[in-house]
Amino acid sequence: MDPFSTPGRWLRGNLHCHSDRSDGALPPAEVCRRYAAQGYDFLALTDHFVGRFGYPITDTLPFRSGDFTTLLGAELHSGAMVNGELWHILAVGLPPDFAPSQSPDFRPVPGQESGAALAARARAAGAFVAIAHPHWSGLTEADAAAIEAAHAVEVYNHGCAVEADRGEGFAQAEHLLNAGRRLTLIATDDAHFHIDDHFGGWVMVKAAANAPAAILAALKAGAFYSTQGPEIRALSREGDALQVETSPAASVIVAGQGTPTVWRSAEAGTVWTLPLDRLAASPWLRVTVTDAAGRRAWSNPLWR
């Protein structure tokens, strides 16, 4: 789906954060209040789905209002990655009775289901599934490839960037794109509110309504872009060039498979034409917009 030419309204949302139902600092009501006060249209509160916390799928339905909605979800854990640590898999749109994963705590235990099986079970239950914070997790290319049920890769995680300088996932995402996996790219907060780890990365979703079912359908269809602040207002192919309209920005980059990129800069540019001849062999393209403050926005991959 092309979100820039389809009907609907743009909605700002965060897909990854935590409350005191797991290891966050604030109760769910206060987390939701803060995101609504900050101008977010929707929130997925994704507490850690482990036995230590009672396998929570935190109920945020009481905190919905006429202009703010919530999606039920969790950060799922089960099985070991190549480095021996537990998987972290984001699942937004889970049913409240999603079955526990036999994960008593944050360490793998013998006999539990694999991360790949847990992700597949979440997707089958109707969730939008994303590979969480690949850099922070130490994810290998083989790890990433194993999660065949993923809709998306978390390419920017604000909490991991602030706390560990390991906030990105573009390398792992591009390995999967180069292998033909049609994944999308999400930016999130992963806010716990113990430190200043909130309101730093979000998705802008084009949906028919600010309602859970409409937002979830748009996420699964790829009708969104991710940002730290800059806006992508239009994106279209015109012959052998890409036309991009943005909020005032300092640069726009188009990247694809391999090392070639196309780069343009301006003092406060809003309309950009980027020739694609250097990227003619790439099966996919993605756009990065950077503003004068260094904040970025990212399109989903565009497939030829």
pLDDT digits (tens, 9 = 90+) for 83-102: 999 999 999 999 999 999 99
Environment class of residue 291 by beta-carbon count within 10 Å: exposed (0-12), middle (13-18) or buried (19+)?
A: buried
- Which amino acid belongs to residue 236? S
Average pLDDT over the chain reads 97
Nearest CA to 211 out of 96, 95, 71, 94 is that of: 71
Q: Given this model, what pLDDT does residue 287 score?
A: 98
Every domain of the chain and the residues it spans: 9-227, 232-303
- Distance (Å, whole) CA 16 – CA 40: 13
Percent of the chain with pLDDT over 90: 98
The distance between the two most distant Cα atoms of the chain, rounded to a whole number of Å, is 57
What mean pLDDT comes out for the span 138-163? 97
- Which amino acid belongs to residue 135? H
Say whether pLDDT at 20 is over 80: yes
Summarize pLDDT for 158-210 with one digit per residue, the tens.
999 999 999 999 999 999 999 999 999 999 999 999 999 999 999 999 999 99
User: What's the pLDDT band for 252 if we cut at 50, 70, 90?
Assistant: very high
Q: Given this model, what pLDDT does residue 239 score?
A: 87
What mean pLDDT comes out for the span 200-227? 98
Say whether pLDDT at 123 is over 90: yes
Q: Given this model, what pLDDT does residue 2 score?
A: 86
Nearest CA to 81 out of 32, 35, 128, 133 is that of: 133
Superfamily of domain 9-227: Metal-dependent hydrolases (3.20.20.140)
What mean pLDDT comes out for the span 119-124? 98
Nearest CA to 130 out of 191, 209, 187 is that of: 187
Say whether pLDDT at 1 is over 90: no
- Which amino acid belongs to residue 48? H
271 DSSP β-pair partners: 245
User: What is the CATH code for 232-303?
Assistant: 2.60.40.10
Q: Given this model, what pLDDT does residue 304 score?
A: 84
Summarize pLDDT for 34-63 with one digit per residue, the tens.
999 999 999 999 999 999 999 999 999 999
Environment class of residue 283 by beta-carbon count within 10 Å: exposed (0-12), middle (13-18) or buried (19+)?
A: middle
What mean pLDDT comes out for the span 232-258? 96
